[in-house]
Structure 1
Amino acid sequence: MDDAHTANIHSESDGDSGDHGDTNASDSDAQQALEVVFQPENIHRRKSSLVPSNTRPQNNRKRTNCFVHSFLDENNGEYLPNHNASYEGLAQERKVDKDPDGALDAGHQSRLLTKKQISDMAFGIRELAKRLAHIRLKMNVQHVFLLAKAHDATLIANTREVAHWLLTRDQHYKVYVEDTLEHNRVFDAEGLLASNHSFEGRLKFWTNKLCAEKPQTFDIVLALGGDGTVLYASWLFQRVVPPVLAFSLGSLGFLTKFDYDGFQNTLSRAFKEGITVSLRLRFEATVMRSQVHNGDSARDLVEQLIGEESEDNHTHKPDGTHNILNEVVVDRGPNPTMSTIELFGDDEHFTTIQADGICVSTPTGSTAYNLAAGGSLCHPDNPVVLVTAICAHTLSFRPIILPDTIVLRAGVPYDARTSSWASFDGRERVELRPGDYVTISASRFPFPSVLPLDRKSKDWVDSISRTLNWNSRQRQKSFKEWN
């Protein structure tokens, strides 16, 4: 094939319907067709890869969730009996967690998928990520989402500059900025609209509700700030995430790949030549509340989750689900004593943790709290889960790396002295009382991060070298021979 070989991918909606404001397009139409352009430098393949397609084994894996809106249809986590399956096969079809209420909407949560469904989903994300790494996506951009800190005067001015440039660039562009900027004096929306009558109706204001309910409205997200702004984009789009192109205007730059000074050239090239996307693994974390009376220390959390009582689906109920990009942290909070945490992996009790807390990190989050707690650096393409103790009470509790197909549960035993606290990407801090736990698994909604076309292959190594001064030291002096 050559670089002129193209294909069109049409988006599929997730079943939502209806419009917001004066947006007339439906969910299925809001995300325009994507033109896929194969990179010319990737047309050469090894002979071993040139195998006729009819010899490859077929599988029934379904496409995963991403910004092209291909959604899984996983039977809502219902058990499908197979009388011919082995014991191991039946175990693969068991739900990884309990559904006490049997609600259909709860079936959207990854924790209610079977082990086999999670494995297929994770494998599908990996396959899609590999394909996207070697192609450029040419999008018909019409709806642009601008994200910046609404309380920073400098970033508000930058937002206004980018919005003005986009509105002037193309009359088809519709630019969305945060609703708090509508009456902001620095942004001066009235002055911006008065400067050009064609801007009327094309400058719009987004709300958290619009991001949650109609993410397909936006073709691309432009983040102005640091890594925290990118994390905020992940928090706003809890399900489908549009491609995020981040300009560096903050303190760190692990996730912000583009210099703001040349934003005009960057955006012109991205919209004209296309973008390359890196799919970042996200976690789905659900808080599970114990339904037994508090203070009942005779209860055993291990028994409830994997022991003889494990089939009792009335012991816990879900209380909030979050998709996170960096990490889930369970710690001691304001308590003066260390936390006691039971850690489970799938149907096994891994260990009892006595520490200030535990950090369960994605590969993207390996350079954040995980690194500060002594965890390993991990390339974001690795399909793994990083588990790191925070100031463990034993020196032998070393960081551990687990596959992304595992389902972890971190809970507070009933006989614990104190409660623990859970946070999700540093947000929504909630108390875990004795008997409560958090379930953590790979999310069906990965995070698409736009990479620079010129240096995408070495971008991550450059970022850790630049921000962490990774392996930087004075060069060793050579020997000087003497006679």
Structure 2
Amino acid sequence: MKPLRTVALVVNRQKSGAREIGDQLKQLGQDRGVEMRITEEHPLPNGYLQGCDAVCAIGGDGTFLGVVPQAVEYGVKVLGVNLGKLGFLVTFSPDGIAREFGRILDGDYEIEDRTLLEACDPEGERRICLNDVVVKQTASSRMMMLEVFANGDFVNEFACDGLIYSTPTGSTAYNLSAGGPIVHPDVQGITLTPICPHTLSNRSVIFSMGTEIEVRTDLEACSPQVTLDGHLRFTESIAFPLRIRVPSTTVTLIHGKDYSHFLTVRTKLHWRENTL
């Protein structure tokens, strides 16, 4: 792969040891003549990643997800160091990144393109995310009614606490906690999973990549909120009807040479290793 000549480090200062790792990686890069940038600001300053070859998020999956929109905007590759709990996205350990960072800078790494979701409000404002778009009732004690259409075809009216629309990458996040399926990252589609549906037969639905989903609700009967990767992105009064689709743009992840998707899943979910 192409060597990395300009690298940004995004440090979550709330994570123990993050600053030290950031300083260590900055020095490793500078020793190789790589232009290194480092910030603890969240969200990222506007244009921070412009001109970078890669960005390294040091923290947890939340830190990683926070850099994705700007990484997509400027075509920057993303990798992450795990100082959080699960860490499905931040696949390098502190010890692992210390060993491999030099090789990564020299171009000894693998890349993987991951699909995104795009949400659009009636005013045409578009936002992207890597994991999920979640529509939930602001008042947690009340159920809401949500109508879902796929390419104009009525799917169902869900009586539930909310709906999760996830990418394959996001299938191991909120979707999994809500009983949704684990979807391999190579599958290009959208998974809809209802949150605590009133009708027990309501289960996850997987839509093809080319599907445009529309979500409607009665704003006089409920107070919904829309979050993308855990962040509130739309004002509720103008968010509906909300349209969700898979955009043509992707985000490029950097992995080590020994990366395995199923090894990550087995490790994080404590599945059994093969004993046969």
Matched with 2:35 is 174
Aligned to 1:277, which of 108, 111, 128? 111
SS at match of 2:74: coil
Cα distance in 2 between the residues matched to 1:241 and 1:250: 26
Cα distance in 2 between the residues matched to 1:435 and 1:352: 18
**Superposed, which structure 2 residues align to 1:71-220 within 5 Å?**
137-139=1-3, 141-152=4-15, 154-167=17-30, 169-171=31-33, 173-178=34-39, 208-211=45-48, 215-220=49-54
Shift of 1:249: 2.1
Distance 1:445 1:156, change over 3 A: same
Aligned to 1:339, which of 144, 147, 168? 144
Shift of 1:335: 5.2
Contact 1:287/1:439 (<8 A) preserved: yes
Cα distance in 1 between the residues matched to 2:239 and 2:229: 23
Shift of 1:165: 2.3
SS at match of 1:159: helix
Matched with 1:428 is 232
SS at match of 2:87: coil
Distance 1:417 1:207, change over 3 A: closer
How far does the alpha carbon of each residue in 1:275-318 deviate from its partner, in whole angstroms, 9 at most, with x for none? 21110101111122xxxxxxxxxxxxxxxxxxxxxxxxxxxx23
Matched length: 276
Matched with 1:6 is none
How far does the alpha carbon of each residue in 1:46-99 deviate from its partner, in whole angstroms, 9 at most, with x for none? xxxxxxxxxxxxxxxxxxxxxxxxxxxxxxxxxxxxxxxxxxxxxxxxxxxxxx
Distance 1:255 1:220, change over 3 A: same
How far does the alpha carbon of each residue in 1:327-371 deviate from its partner, in whole angstroms, 9 at most, with x for none? 001111225321111111112121111100000000000000000
> RMSD of aligned C-alpha atoms?
2.6
Aligned to 1:442, which of 246, 264, 270? 246
Contact 2:164/2:174 (<8 A) preserved: yes
Distance 1:279 1:219, change over 3 A: same
Cα distance in 2 between the residues matched to 1:465 and 1:440: 30
Contact 1:282/1:443 (<8 A) preserved: yes
Instruction: Give unmatched runs, 5+ long, in structure 1.
Output: 1-136, 182-205, 289-316, 477-483
Contact 2:71/2:77 (<8 A) preserved: no
Q: Does 2:236 match 1:374?
A: no
Identity of aligned residues (%): 26
Matched with 2:222 is 418
SS at match of 2:193: strand
Cα distance in 1 between the residues matched to 2:255 and 2:82: 13
Contact 1:146/1:176 (<8 A) preserved: yes
**Amino acid aligned to 2:267:** R
Matched with 1:77 is none
Contact 1:148/1:155 (<8 A) preserved: yes
Contact 1:147/1:223 (<8 A) preserved: yes
Shift of 1:410: 1.1
Shift of 1:234: 1.0
SS at match of 1:239: helix
Distance 1:437 1:354, change over 3 A: same
Larger radius of gyration: 1
**Amino acid aligned to 1:328:** V
Cα distance in 2 between the residues matched to 1:384 and 1:150: 35
Cα distance in 1 between the residues matched to 2:235 and 2:159: 17
How far does the alpha carbon of each residue in 1:18-56 deviate from its partner, in whole angstroms, 9 at most, with x for none? xxxxxxxxxxxxxxxxxxxxxxxxxxxxxxxxxxxxxxx
Distance 1:448 1:251, change over 3 A: same
SS at match of 1:392: coil
Identify, as 1 or 2, the structure richer in helix: 1
Contact 1:208/1:236 (<8 A) preserved: no
Distance 1:251 1:207, change over 3 A: closer
How far does the alpha carbon of each residue in 1:359-399 deviate from its partner, in whole angstroms, 9 at most, with x for none? 00000000000001110011111111101000001011111
**Amino acid aligned to 1:253:** G
How far does the alpha carbon of each residue in 1:204-241 deviate from its partner, in whole angstroms, 9 at most, with x for none? xx952113xxx441011122222222111214435234
Shift of 1:435: 8.4
**Superposed, which structure 2 residues align to 1:357-396 within 5 Å?**
357-396=162-201
Q: Does 2:153 match 1:348?
A: yes
Q: Does 2:250 match 1:250?
A: no
SS at match of 2:161: strand
Matched with 1:298 is none
TM-score by length of 2: 0.90
Shift of 1:176: 0.7
Higher relative contact order (CA 8 A, sep 6+): 2
Shift of 1:179: 6.5
Matched with 1:30 is none
Distance 1:435 1:233, change over 3 A: closer
Cα distance in 2 between the residues matched to 1:225 and 1:442: 27
Contact 1:238/1:322 (<8 A) preserved: no
Instruction: Give unmatched runs, 5+ long, in structure 2.
Output: none
Shift of 1:262: 3.9
How far does the alpha carbon of each residue in 1:239-275 deviate from its partner, in whole angstroms, 9 at most, with x for none? 2341112222221131122222143431222233432
TM-score by length of 1: 0.53
